[in-house]
């Protein structure tokens, strides 16, 4: 099956900040029309770039008549989490602009949006959909999101998975020296909104696990408590939005402990909110990057919501 059964994406800048032009890739279904515009499936990557979109999402415009939008955002620690959430909100607001309508030929329905993401991107989707963390970041929560899809998401900075050093990280098998990561770990280094999938920065995530510094990378200097971005704890308060939510993870994930997904599911259930959970036996992180994976249950969820 070809990985790109439709034209190349529309590439455009949705925000300029810190001297960066932050981009999104837009895949408009060929069958979408002004009379029958396609809904939006927005996807945030984990720690790479909008070009890291998975094969099943590349097929989704043709197969599921969805306008898939893959979005970049500024990366930590050069940008702390309030800045990251500001980028997420800017992307959602961009869909309401005349520029977006023009480049998509008025064939996309910006009133029907489902937010999604993988790994850290899944966390961003949960934060955007519920509004958790936005007030703490000095931002108004996003509005109008119809559903949330979190794929093996990070959900809680307080989880011991992030606060316990892993030396070495299981899937690396060696200690990553600080000298290898100095540039990426320095908050004063040049800001960026993307990273090469196989570049030197690809070792920064396991280095973060090795040294247990996720809280530091995202929050140092902000004065914000980590719990302000914890999904399950905040959902249980009943003070946040809970649009229909779909969560999928593998129970052999070495990059994000799947218990974090379970905690969120239980929190949704505790307040009788709508949540659909899929736990895949023996699968690790990035299982949906495989060419043959279709994620049919995810697209059935989208259909049920929209």
User: Sorting pLDDT into bands at 50, 70 and 90, what band is 181?
Assistant: very high
What is the SS3 string spanning the chain? Answer: CCCCCCCCCEEEEEEEECCEEEEEEEECCCCCCCCCCEEEEEEECCCCCHHHCCHHHHHHHHHHCCEEEEECCCCCCCCCHHHHHHHHHHHHHHCCCHHHHHHCCCCEEEEEEEEEEECHHHHHHHHHHHCCCCCCCCCCCCCCEEEEEEECCCCCCCCHHHHCCCCCCCCCCCCCCHHHHHHHHCCCCCCCCCCCCCCHHHHHHHHHHHHCCHHHHHHCCCCCCHHHHCHHHHHCCCCCCCCCEEEEEECCCCCCCCHHHHHHHHHHHHCCCCEEEEEECCCCCCHHHCCCCCCHHHHHHHHHHC
Give the residue-averaged pLDDT of 189-205.
90
The model's pTM: 0.96
Answer yes or no: do 92 and 50 share one domain: yes
Give the residue-averaged pLDDT of 94-99.
98
pLDDT at 1: 42
pLDDT at 49: 79
pLDDT at 188: 97
Answer yes or no: do 48 and 112 share one domain: yes
Contact status, residue 113 vs residue 39, Cβ threshold 8 Å: yes
Q: Is 5 inside a domain boundary?
A: no
Answer yes or no: do 33 and 166 share one domain: no
pLDDT digits (tens, 9 = 90+) for 24-77: 999 999 999 999 999 999 999 998 777 889 999 999 999 999 999 999 999 999
User: Sorting pLDDT into bands at 50, 70 and 90, what band is 199?
Assistant: confident
Answer yes or no: do 188 and 109 share one domain: no
Q: Is the pLDDT of residue 247 over 50?
A: yes
Residue 86: CATH number of its domain: 3.40.50.1820
pLDDT at 7: 60
Burial (CB < 10 A; 0-12, 13-18, 19+), residue 231, is buried
Answer yes or no: do 258 and 166 share one domain: no
What is the residue-averaged pLDDT of the chain? 95
pLDDT at 52: 86
pLDDT digits (tens, 9 = 90+) for 97-120: 999 999 999 999 999 999 999 999
User: Sorting pLDDT into bands at 50, 70 and 90, what band is 198?
Assistant: confident
Separation between Cα atoms, residue 133 and residue 155, nearest integer Å: 12
What percent of the chain is modeled with pLDDT above 70? 98
Q: Is the pLDDT of residue 5 over 60?
A: no
pLDDT at 243: 98
Selection from 171, 170, 157 nearest residue 76 by Cα: 157
Answer yes or no: do 190 and 241 share one domain: no
Q: Is 67 inside a domain boundary?
A: yes
pLDDT at 2: 45
Answer yes or no: do 135 and 238 share one domain: yes
Q: Is the pLDDT of residue 3 over 70?
A: no
Which residue range is the domain that position 178 belongs to? 162-210
Q: Is the pLDDT of residue 246 over 70?
A: yes
Q: Is the pLDDT of residue 4 over 90?
A: no
CA separation (Å) from 94 to 69, 72, 138? 12, 13, 19
Answer yes or no: do 179 and 32 share one domain: no
Answer yes or no: do 124 and 14 share one domain: yes
Q: Is 48 inside a domain boundary?
A: yes
pLDDT digits (tens, 9 = 90+) for 265-286: 999 999 999 999 999 999 999 9
């Amino acid at each position: 099956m070809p990985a790109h059964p439709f034209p190349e994406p529309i590439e455009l800048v949705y925000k300029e900040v810190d001297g960066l032009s932050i981009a999104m890739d837009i895949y408009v279904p060929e069958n979408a029309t002004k009379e029958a515009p396609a809904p939006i499936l927005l996807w945030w990557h984990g720690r790479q770039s909008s070009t890291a979109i998975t094969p099943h999402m590349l097929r989704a415009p043709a197969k599921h008549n969805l306008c898939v939008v893959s979005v970049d955002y500024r990366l930590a620690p050069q940008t702390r989490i309030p800045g990251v959430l500001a980028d997420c909100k800017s992307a959602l607001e961009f869909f309401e602009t005349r520029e977006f309508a023009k480049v998509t030929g008025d064939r996309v329905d910006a009133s029907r949006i489902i937010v999604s993401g993988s790994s850290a991107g899944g966390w961003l989707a949960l934060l955007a959909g519920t509004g958790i963390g936005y007030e703490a970041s000095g931002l108004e929560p996003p509005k109008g999101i119809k559903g949330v899809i979190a794929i093996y998401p990070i959900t809680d900075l307080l989880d011991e998975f992030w606060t316990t050093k892993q030396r070495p990280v299981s899937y690396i098998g060696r200690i990553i020296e600080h000298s290898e990561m100095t540039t990426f770990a320095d908050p004063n280094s040049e800001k960026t909104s993307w990273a090469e999938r196989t570049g030197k920065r690809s070792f920064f995530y396991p280095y973060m696990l090795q040294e247990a510094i996720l809280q530091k990378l995202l929050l140092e200097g902000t004065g914000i408590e980590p719990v302000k971005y914890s999904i399950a704890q905040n959902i249980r308060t009943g003070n946040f939005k809970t649009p229909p939510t779909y969560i999928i993870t593998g129970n052999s994930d070495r990059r994000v402990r799947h218990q974090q997904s379970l905690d969120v599911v239980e929190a949704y259930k505790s307040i009788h909110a709508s949540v659909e959970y899929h736990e895949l036996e023996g699968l690790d992180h990035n299982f949906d990057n495989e060419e043959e994976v279709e994620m049919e249950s995810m697209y059935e969820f989208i259909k049920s919501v929209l």
